[in-house]
Chain A
Amino acid sequence: MASRIFGLSRRPATLAALGLVGALAAGLGACATLATSSGGDTSLPNAGLGPFRPLKAGEIGNSRPAPYGLRDDASFERDVAVLDADGDPATLGVVAYAARTTFGAGVEPEPSAPPNEIVRHTALDGRSFDRGPPVVLAPAAAWEGGTVGAPAALEVEGEVYLYYAAAGGIGLARSADGVAFAREDAPVLGPASAGWDDGLVPRSPSVVRLPDGSFRMFYEVALGADESAIGEAASADGLVWQRLGEAPVLARRPELVDDLPAYDGASVGAPSAVLWVTSEGRAVLGVYYAATAEDGTRSIALAARYGTDGALARGLGPVFGSDGDLDPTEPCIVRFASFAFLYATERAGSAASQDFPAVAVGVAPATVTLPPPEW
């Protein structure tokens, strides 16, 4: 062997071996050239906090045009507060309180007119709301200034607490059956007498009850024509409130974030507070809110904190409405067993004739398959 200058092993079998390999490779190469997906996209973790996709046709019933759960070009129903009807996340029945505007005979409906009624809808499936809702609240007190709106509903030991915005501040009405409400004589949160929101009227409330039984409210304050911020207040009984902090709990971010304008660089408002517990048992207080960027685009975003106190950390991006031009606001979230619904007020469409408020419904995770509509 060593005497040869060049030798391929001991036998001509080398050629046979190479031939075998070649034939093998040729045969295998013919098996396939386009691979199938390698999977890995099933049951991935998702906290159900968003992003929300708008409901599609067929996912909402009662002749409601998807994604709108409420869409009325005469009374402009909007700004819903939705409660899980039985408190059981496994069932989808909900009760929704919506603001609307009733116009007198002969008056042309005007979308920008302030709401003057709060009505009560129900939906067996969480989104196909009934029609002909009863009015549960209308302006009656002088401090309300003829308007009630932006309801926030909360079930407290068998009663429904309905917070609402009026001209003089935030009011409270309570009901044992969710239909007949008795209001407090005065606003439970009026204009501040000092602080960052001194003299400004709070509006668009959202209230949650903390595990210790106390109440926490988030509210919007207009700081200018195009800017608002979110404040926070606490209460032991839901009636007497104490403002928290010396600054808004959430304010616009004019600075760049990762070298890009922030999605809430111009304004934040319309808070909607939600409590949940992570899969690892950590309690979270989250606040969905309307976020307006410097370019005027508006979307729904989320900020949250572990526990009940401290700064709110913003999410990386909006959770709803960031790819459209319908300017969603006044979010409300209801979390069910395997998904969550978001209800948001936005324009009823892009066309000029659709420039009135309606309530769109979104769902997260976006990949979820909803049970058939029921109404």
Chain B
Amino acid sequence: MSPLHRKPFVVAGLCAGLVVGAARPSAASVPDGYGFGSRAAGMAGAVSADAVDFSASFYNPAGLVDAPGVSVGGGYMYNWQNLRVSGLDNEVGPVHGLVGGVVAPGVLFGVPFAFGIAVHLPDDGLSYINARRQGVPRWELYDSRAQLLYLSANLAVQPLEWLSIGGGIAYLSATRGTFGIRGEANVLDPFSSALEHEVDADLTSVRFPQVGVRFQIEDWAAIGLTYRGESKLDLTLSAHLEGIVNFAGIDVPLLYELEAHTVAAFTPHQVALGLSFQKVEGLRLNLDLTWLHWSAYSSPTAEIGALLDVKPPPGTPLKLPRAPAPSKLVAPEFVDRVEPRFGAEYRIALGDERRSVDERAPRPVVELPVRVGYAYQPSPVPDQSGETNLIDADRHTVTLGTGVSWNAPCDEIAGGLELDVHGAFSVLPERVVLKDNPADIVGDYRASGDIFSFGTTFGLGF
């Protein structure tokens, strides 16, 4: 017997709660906020002009074609989020999941080309979305966006020796569904109730394009330019409760319908310009500037319509809730932002140089990369002095990374084996929110936080 059979009184409320609780809006994608692959994350994501592994499928698909050979990579990352309001931990969940991908370069009609796919897979579920009432405080950009599947598939070509072009489609997963209950509920004898419930949920996807170009300036610099499209999911969840509530022998027909609509999985248009200076052998100095079109951000508040049709006989001591009053959505009015990112990598060579069987340039037997980075992400969220409480703050991130590369260890692995790790520490400086309305039930507050990240990626190059 379903637990729902035992609580017929709360069926309507539960129904509403499930629907509202099942749709959580999110902002941007995991790679945006936490990095994609340990090499890129160790350089604070400043790799738009310098990504040739599977992470290029996110940072700049044009880089795929510069991969020295077929490679496959995979790894894991974990991000502890300690986000606080007025000194109290809001227990925003950690962001963790697996990353991976493959790069397969080749030649088509004499033109170098490459195919790449990459994925971020939350390891505790493919998709979790929630929507809250307007005004309910929430860490808008941190509390759920990690729980979405990200998948990207791209192609790249190199029509000129100094020019690479790539593009493809990225996917984010999200859920949509309905919830229904029908039957007869006996208030005084719940175990004799006969209720059927039905959940119909789909894992659906939103798609957005991404394209990139990469210019190689002789052997000392590269310029990358990437565009990632906007995506959002118009999410509608509905609940239907139809049946008879038996209250002390009195049958009360009841119909309750609820529909919640929200916009979830919002990812803004992004344009990233990356520079990579490579004049000194083994050293990469990278700078990225990413423009994010946050001003297009849609209200995360669920629009709720409810219908309660119940006609208890006169004298029935039933207290019926009023239908939720419709609320006028407040435009979030996010602001477009430019995020600077700096990254550096120095590869320490150990051992003699070795040439692989496929005539690539000779490389040291072992390389130890050391990476550092810094990123500044100004908050796109405006002052929350009004009705909404979309909590956010600027974010400063310092990253470190290292690893080891074993180049061409055998004929079957002409590329090499790579193991990278990264750590990052983000600080969200305190942001004070002063309410215009003294009768605001949330009141003044201060938001701050820090995020600690760790990840590792294993690569295998053929």
Chain A positions within 8 Å of B, measured between CB atoms, are 1-2, 4-11, 13-14, 16-18, 20-21, 24-25, 28-29, 31-47, 49-51, 258-260, 278-280, 282, 284, 286, 297, 302-306, 312-317, 319, 322-325, 349-352, 364
Contacts and interface: CB of A to CB of B under 8 A. Distances in A.
Contacts of B387: 316
A45 B89 contact: no
A4 B107 contact: yes
Contact of B439 (A8, A9, A49, A352): A49
Contact of A34 (B125, B328, B438, B440): B125
Contact of A2 (B93, B107, B123, B460): B107
B130 A45 contact: no
11 contacts: A6-B108, A35-B127, A38-B143, A40-B90, A42-B88, A43-B91, A50-B441, A51-B441, A278-B438, A324-B322, A352-B315
A258 B72 CA distance: 55
Contacts of A302: 439, 441
A24 B414 CA distance: 22
Interface in B186-244: 203
A173 B123 CA distance: 68
A280 B102 CA distance: 52
A1 B126 contact: no
A286 B125 contact: no
A10 B67 CA distance: 12
B151 to A, nearest CB: 9
Contact of B124 (A5, A20, A32): A32
Chain B interface mostly: loop
Contacts of A352: 315
B124 A280 contact: no
Interface string B117-134: 101011111111010000
Given A17-B70, A28-B123, A32-B124, A9 B106 contact: yes
B444 A279 contact: yes
Given A37-B128, A280-B446, 10 more contacts: A2-B107, A6-B106, A10-B358, A28-B121, A33-B126, A40-B90, A41-B91, A45-B86, A313-B437, A316-B135
A258 B386 CA distance: 15
Most buried by A among B83, B100, B462: B462
A316 to B, nearest CB: 6
How big is chain B's contact interface, by range? 35 or more
A90 to B, nearest CB: 18
Given A2-B107, A317-B325, A21 B317 contact: no
B353 to A, nearest CB: 20
Contact of B441 (A4, A49, A350): A49
A18 B71 CA distance: 9
A58 B326 CA distance: 33
A40 B92 contact: yes
B319 A324 contact: yes
A49 B443 contact: yes
Chain A interface mostly: loop
B322 A38 contact: no
A5 B123 CA distance: 41
A14 B124 contact: no
B89 A43 contact: yes
B24 interface: yes
B325 A284 contact: no
Nearest to B136: A44
A260 B438 contact: no
B273 interface: no
B442 A11 contact: no
Contacts of A7: 106-107
A31 B123 CA distance: 6
Contacts of B138: 40-41, 44
Contacts of A43: 85, 88-91
A325 B317 CA distance: 12
B438 A286 contact: yes
A325 B102 CA distance: 63
A45 B445 contact: yes
B128 A38 contact: yes
Contacts of A315: 437, 439-441
A289 B142 CA distance: 38
**Closest 9 CB pairs between A and B?**
A35-B125, A47-B443, A35-B128, A40-B143, A13-B462, A43-B88, A45-B445, A304-B438, A39-B93
A206 B318 CA distance: 35
A303 B89 CA distance: 30
B276 interface: no
Contact of B445 (A260, A279, A306, A316): A279
A128 B9 CA distance: 27
A21 B438 contact: no
Contacts of A284: 438
A242 B458 CA distance: 79
B443 A1 contact: no
A14 B137 contact: no
B69 to A, nearest CB: 6
A351 B315 contact: yes
Contacts of A4: 107
A69 to B, nearest CB: 19
